[in-house]
Amino acid sequence: MKGTKKNSNWKRRLLWVALLVVLLTGVGIFLIFNRFHFSNQDFPSLASWQGNDKFSQNDDGERPQIIGHRGAGFPAIKNGQRLGRDGRALADKTSPLLIGNTAAAIQRGIEADLDWIEIDIRLSGDNELMVFHDESIDLKTTSKGRIEDLGKEAIQKVQVLVNPPERILTLDEVFNRFHSDERKWVFDIKAVGIQTEVLRWIEAKVSAGELLKDQLILFGRHEVLVDYKDSGYKLGYTVTWGAKEGVLNRLRALFTPSQIISRCEDLDCSLLVLPTIFAHQSLVKAASSKGIGVWVYGSDNEVDHRHFAGRAISGLIVDDPEVAMTCFKGKSPMAGPFRNEKDQVEWGFKDVVKNPDYLAEVGQGMQAADEAAGAAQNWSDEKVAAATRHFILGKH
């Protein structure tokens, strides 16, 4: 009898465990499909099941801002073979390793007539601002070492694994070669503690009238952007999938997505920058309701582009600029990268000069025009001259 009772209790416990597993699995699947967005590029079957292969037709003649991710992406090549993201020879089911931030990559983004060019910023061991994504040069160059441990001369001796080979550029080289009156930049700050050098460089260009504040946005992880919160420049909080912060971000996206919005607000960011998998409509709507613009990165799929364009996404960060620009051929970028009312007022002076009806159309009216004009009265002569050059020529 005792043995039979023990077996009965054991079976009952096993049943409860099975039910708990089923319940937790169901909750997990529910959360995943209600908090994660599956792109057509990486998860075509799941995207179709989730309805992400459909899009709203945009008939207003506008499109999201198109941003060149590190300019554009070129395949990594070593010893004549294309490389996968793990640095090994590319296998059939391996995603290719794309390299940007080179002269050819930036030129490709410019020739595609993108709205913004995004580049990555790091600091060398001898305090030179370098344009490179990774912490170390091991994966993408012919040598090894960390950027912060190497001097400029040593860094520029190595070759980046693209065809034809290139060298790593300094920020000065990129700016001197590629900047123009209409060029707009996103600086993705990759390291903590380099704000002194970054802001000193930016302020020198702004003071000289070579760069306007509305031509620049600073991206970064939360721990990076804390040092730029009161800088006076537009900020974009980048929510990463990988790296150290990635695991926590996945948990936030699943269980407490409001924390992502709160962290963005804590930094006073105008933009929330999401990988496609975090760009679920619920999070996008939550950001938009707070007046925060949303840019997404991680897909070069035309169906994904059209899907996002119809769902309040204000910017697409792409490695293949030609696909994105062809997708929205004939459409104009929305006025300014932000959906925040405060930011639109700050952009008002530019848009009033270009189109007197603009402020009335967006409901800002003469009050915003007066505020913009008042701000203009406090500009330095150099800033007025630079702004006049942009506005009279119809460039922004």
Structure-block tokens of residue 272: 């929330």
Query: What is the residue range of 352's domain?
Result: 340-396
226-254 burial, b at 16+ Cβ within 10 Å, e below that, comes to ebbeeeebbbbbbbbbeeebeeebbebbe
Q: Domain ends where: 318, 336, 354?
A: 336
Q: How many domains would you assign to the chain?
A: 3
Structure-block tokens of residue 77: 């090549």
Is 293 found in the same domain as 222? yes
**Which of 217, 210, 240 has its CA nearest to residue 340?**
217
Q: Is residue 57 part of a domain?
A: no
Is 263 found in the same domain as 202? yes
Structure-block tokens of residue 372: 């913009």
Q: Is residue 55 part of a domain?
A: no
Structure-block tokens of residue 162: 């693209």
Is the pTM of the predicted complex or chain greater than 0.95?
no
Is 355 found in the same domain as 227? no
Is 391 found in the same domain as 349? yes
Is 185 found in the same domain as 85? yes
Number of neighbouring beta carbons within 10 Å of residue 394: 9
Task: Spell out the residues 6+ positions from residue 28 whose beta carbon is closer than 8 angstroms to its own.
Answer: none
Per-residue pLDDT of the chain (396 residues; tens, 9 = 90+): 555 655 667 777 777 777 777 666 665 565 565 667 778 887 777 777 667 666 555 556 789 999 999 999 999 988 888 888 777 887 765 688 999 999 999 999 999 999 999 999 999 999 999 999 999 999 999 999 999 999 999 999 999 999 999 999 999 999 999 999 999 999 999 999 999 999 999 999 999 999 999 999 999 999 999 999 999 999 999 999 876 777 888 888 888 999 999 999 999 999 999 999 999 888 999 999 899 999 999 999 999 999 999 888 999 999 999 999 999 998 989 876 554 444 444 444 443 344 444 444 444 444 555 555 566 566 665 555 555 555 544 443
Q: Is residue 231 part of a domain?
A: yes
Is 10 found in the same domain as 66? no
Q: Domain ends where: 288, 316, 336?
A: 336
